[in-house]
Amino acid sequence: MHIKRAIERIPGGMMLVPLFIGALCHTFAPDSGKYFGSFTNGLMTGTVPILAVWFFCMGASIKISATGTVLRKSGTLVITKIAVAWIVAAIASRFMPENGVEFGFFAGLSVLALVAAMDMTNGGLYASVMEQYGTKEEASAFVLMSLESGPLMTMIILGTAGIASFEPHVFVGAVLPFLIGFGLGNLDPELREFFGKAIKTLIPFFGFALGCTINLTVIAQTGLLGILLGLSVIVVTGIPLMLADKFIGGGDGTAGIAASSSAGAAVATPVLIAEMVPEFKAVAPAATALVATSVIVTSILVPILTAMWSKKMKGRAAKQRVKLETVARIK
């Protein structure tokens, strides 16, 4: 049986399939973890510790050395994505209730859901798409996108936008595993390779644990809204990213579209933020479901849109070359 191959055919499958299985367990047997206890309960309720290990390994995998081109490209995309998410948060906080929208079509939508969906790029998706449609330097730009992973950037956005307040030690606690891993990985290349191997392995485990906090009825209620959120992420973040890539990053906008996705790790953000700020616990389940749907939508559409834009840009560049060559021959 080719189970892994089948799961990977689904966009973000290694994250979303275990998440769905966990959601099934929580929906139809919510007390199963407590019933079995021991390691089974730990696996079903271990979202935070599993993610802590994942952040550590993610930090260890990042090399401090990178070419100037890679740093300029990745820095441009990361800063633009975060800036757009901050602006969205600042605007949305002035119109949305503190506990999110509670009635109507937009029920479940909150500032937390918007920020979590928009402030992180799916680095793996970006790298694979740009390897096909961009340059090696553009594909390598995912190096800094890993810095967006986890709740830290979401915390900074919510804090600086005046939506939530976090104690300094909470910020340190959120980023410390990542920084320790980053330090060890750059001090010893063998440790970087050793811990880096665990990144993909841990994804289905925290996906399952996260799913065990979700009731499927919430996903059913927010499905269409989640699709709209995914489309909004592509439009709202994609246009500024394209402009930044073209005028700052030195590209043609292709990398900007490729970066306009929601990261799979963002699905865990609402729960983690709610752990630190109890005021968000009421909106966390709906926000998680919305972000999960956004991950699927952007994972499907972003590669298609990137391919279309790349083809258009290459066709335009080819015409320009022909025009210049014709002018040169005439002269």
Which pLDDT band, with edges at 50, 70 and 90, does 70 fall under? Answer: low
**Which amino acid is it at 146?**
S
Mean pLDDT of the chain: 84
Those residues whose C-beta lies under 8 Å from the C-beta of residue 147, and which sit 6 or more positions away, are 62, 78, 153
Task: Judge whether residue 271 has pLDDT over 60.
Answer: yes
CA distances from 55 to 62, 78, 120, 307 (A): 11, 18, 14, 31
Task: Judge whether residue 205 has pLDDT over 70.
Answer: yes
Q: How far is CA 223 from the centre of its chain?
A: 19
Give one DSSP letter per residue of 275-321, joined into a string.
HH-GGGTTTHHHHHHHHHHHHHHHHHHHHHHHHHHHHHHHHHHHHHH
**Which amino acid is it at 138?**
E
Write the pLDDT tens digit of every residue in 19-28: 889 889 988 9
Measured CA to CA, the distance from residue 114 to residue 123 in angstroms comes to: 19
CA angle at residue 68 from 155 to 131, to 5 degrees? 80
Those residues whose C-beta lies under 8 Å from the C-beta of residue 105, and which sit 6 or more positions away, are 224, 225
According to the model, what pLDDT value does residue 237 have? 96
Reading the block at residue 315, the tokens are: 């066709």
Reading the block at residue 240, the tokens are: 């500024």
Reported as half-sphere exposure (CB side, CA atoms, 13 A), residue 62 has a value of 25
CA angle at residue 217 from 291 to 19, to 5 degrees? 50
According to the model, what pLDDT value does residue 12 have? 63
Which pLDDT band, with edges at 50, 70 and 90, does 80 fall under? Answer: very high
According to the model, what pLDDT value does residue 115 have? 94
Q: What is the mean pLDDT of residues 101-113?
A: 88
Domains annotated for the chain, with CATH where assigned, are 28-330 (1.20.1530)
Calculate the CA dihedral of residues 131, 133, 135, 138 and round it to 10 degrees. Answer: -70
Task: Judge whether residue 193 has pLDDT over 70.
Answer: yes
The pTM assigned to this predicted structure is 0.76
According to the model, what pLDDT value does residue 149 have? 64
Measured CA to CA, the distance from residue 280 to residue 287 in angstroms comes to: 10
Q: What is the mean pLDDT of residues 266-279?
A: 86
Which of 32-46, 52-66, 69-83 has the highest average model confidence (pLDDT)?
32-46
According to the model, what pLDDT value does residue 57 have? 87
According to the model, what pLDDT value does residue 84 have? 95
According to the model, what pLDDT value does residue 238 have? 95
Nearest alpha-carbon partner for 266 in 122, 83, 163:
122
Task: Judge whether residue 275 has pLDDT over 80.
Answer: yes
Q: What is the mean pLDDT of residues 234-260?
A: 92
Instruction: Please tell me the chain's helix, strand, coil percentages from 3-state DSSP, rounded to the nearest 5.
Output: 75, 0, 25
Task: Judge whether residue 304 has pLDDT over 70.
Answer: yes
**Which amino acid is it at 177?**
P
Write the pLDDT tens digit of every residue in 217-239: 766 777 789 999 999 999 999 99
